[in-house]
Amino acid sequence: MVTLDKLSKTYNKGSVLAVDKVSFEVNKGELFGLIGPDGAGKTSIFRMLTTLLLPDEGSATVDGFDIVKDYKSIRNTVGYMPGRFSLYQDLSVEENLNFFATIFNTTIEENYDLIKDIYVQIEPFKDRKAGKLSGGMKQKLALSCALIHRPTILFLDEPTTGVDAVSRKEFWEMLKRLKTQGITILVSTPYMDEATLCDRIALIQSGKILSIDTPQNIVDAYPDKLFAIKAESIYYLLNDLRAYTKVKGCFTFGEFVHISFKDKSATNEPELLAYLKEKGHKNIEIKAVTPGIEDCFIRLMTEETN
């Protein structure tokens, strides 16, 4: 459905490389996640695929159409939800939806079954101005508007940024239901914990793809044994772990610190435990853990910079 071939984009006359030879494919009916921090190049990729920006190099197709030559055809078929809330704040919920339906040569009735699940949640507020909606409701309205013309592919650029944890969860449930309707979805997010909700993901940092695979495969490919450590003072624990030469990576994860050892074969835990006790740490807890996407991202990211 979507193919990218060495797609590159620079800004400021080539001085800023935003997207660096990115290639990947998204299959029909897939929920594909582009995961990376702000400034990684997610929005630039989305804007090139939605024909809003021209690539400097490389090529890409969306639904078989070339993003440069066939931009008009792409504009007729895709649904796009930009990162910022991009609806008319002074129009009501219903007016916004009606407007977008007409712009896309359709009516609300025609595709109501597609947006029904989402729209019923905001329908009680259909006379309210879009600007007066809460973050979660704005998002639902924006999604309804992007879907109203039954696009074959849906591009969602950071739909959950700045949204609280509860609304985020609801949003991902909506996406799951949409997938069953056969719509291909490309979504970008800076939240690593959302990665597992996608069929396949691309981890991206500084314009480069770090890894593309299913979330499970990415986690399975993590090469080191990972341990989680906890003690009373996380700050002093961190400092002491960093000073400990046998530890390779050392990053906080919630109340734990995730570490891996330089020497994979040896059993390092008892020695470390003794070291930490000597340093005066109390209530130490060490356990082996399976890595998450964020562990993988950090690892790939540090490898890339070294």
Would you state the torsion angle of the CA atoms of residues 59, 60, 65, 70, taken in this order, to the nearest 10 degrees?
Answer: -50
Q: How many CA atoms lie within 13 A of 196 on its CB side?
A: 11
Binding track over 95-124 against other proteins, x by CB under 8 A: x--xxx-xxxx-------------------
Task: Find the shortest distance in angstroms from Cβ 39 to other proteins.
Answer: 5
Task: Find the shortest distance in angstroms from Cβ 200 to other proteins.
Answer: 20
SS3 295: helix
With 0-12 CB in 10 A as exposed, 13-18 as middle and 19+ as buried, what is 216?
Answer: exposed
102: tokens are 């007409």
* Type of residue found at 234: I
Binding track over 140-179 against other proteins, x by CB under 8 A: -----xx--------------xxxxxxx-x----------
Strands 31-35 and 200-205: parallel
46-65: contacts with other proteins (CB under 8 A): 47, 50-54
Name which position in 123, 220, 255, 285 contacts other proteins (CB under 8 A): 255
Name which position in 27, 89, 181, 217 contacts other proteins (CB under 8 A): 89
Q: How many CA atoms lie within 13 A of 201 on its CB side?
A: 28
Pick 119 or 297: Cβ nearer other proteins: 297
Spatial CA neighbour of 220 closest among 208, 211, 231, 230: 211
Examine residue 91 and tell whether it contacts other proteins (CB under 8 A): yes
Binding site for other proteins (CB under 8 A): 11, 36-40, 47, 50-54, 71, 74-76, 78, 80, 82-91, 95, 98-100, 102-105, 133-137, 145-146, 161-167, 169, 190-193, 205, 234-235, 238, 251-255, 294, 297-298, 301-302
